[in-house]
Amino acid sequence: MDARTRAALPTLTLDNARQLRRGMTDAERALWCHLRAGRLDGLKFRRQHPIPPYVVDFYCDAARLVIELDGSQHTQERDLHRTRFLESKGLTVLRFWNDDALLHTQAVLDAVWNIVGPRPLTPTPLPVGEGL
């Protein structure tokens, strides 16, 4: 989808996403080092990605996966409302505590990997009689 066919983002949401990218938390930076540039099985993740009215910490369009890192400023009620909204859009939401992203990074990556899983080399089996 190119820029002409995409719906315009609300200016406030876009500005908020840009500001959040500049001020990433230590936990977000630690996880981003492992998600960026296709480092997790070639998947493309975006950081501080707008999904109006929210800006999610990390988003992978190919897997329709949202990763959120929660700190002390998060409330269970607010996070539940946000998660339900994102799930209503057909997205899978994974939530981790900031401390887990910092201290148990590999466990967080393993949990993400368990969701996105190994992808087949070909999207569908070859028709009968074709191939080897």
pLDDT at 21: 61
Q: Map out the domains of the chain with their CATH numbers.
A: 11-113 (3.40.960.10)
Buried b (16+ CB within 10 A) or exposed e, 47-78: bbbbbeeebbbbbbeebebbbbbbeeeeeeee
Percent of the residues in the chain that have a pLDDT greater than 90, as a whole number: 50
Q: What is the pLDDT of residues 74-84, one digit of tens each?
A: 678 888 999 99
Is the model's pLDDT at 122 over the cut of 80? no
Residue 5 has a CB neighbour count (10 Å cut-off) of: 6
Identify the residue whose tokens are 């269970």. Answer: 76
Q: 67, 94 in Cβ contact below 8 A?
A: yes
> Which of 36, 66, 74, 15 has its CA nearest to residue 58?
66
d(CA 48, CA 51) in angstroms, rounded, equals 9
**DSSP per residue over 84-126, as a string?**
HHHHHTT-EEEEEEHHHHHH-HHHHHHHHHHHH-PPPSSSSPP
pTM summary value: 0.75
Tokens of 63: 């897997």
Bridge partner residues of 46 (DSSP): 59
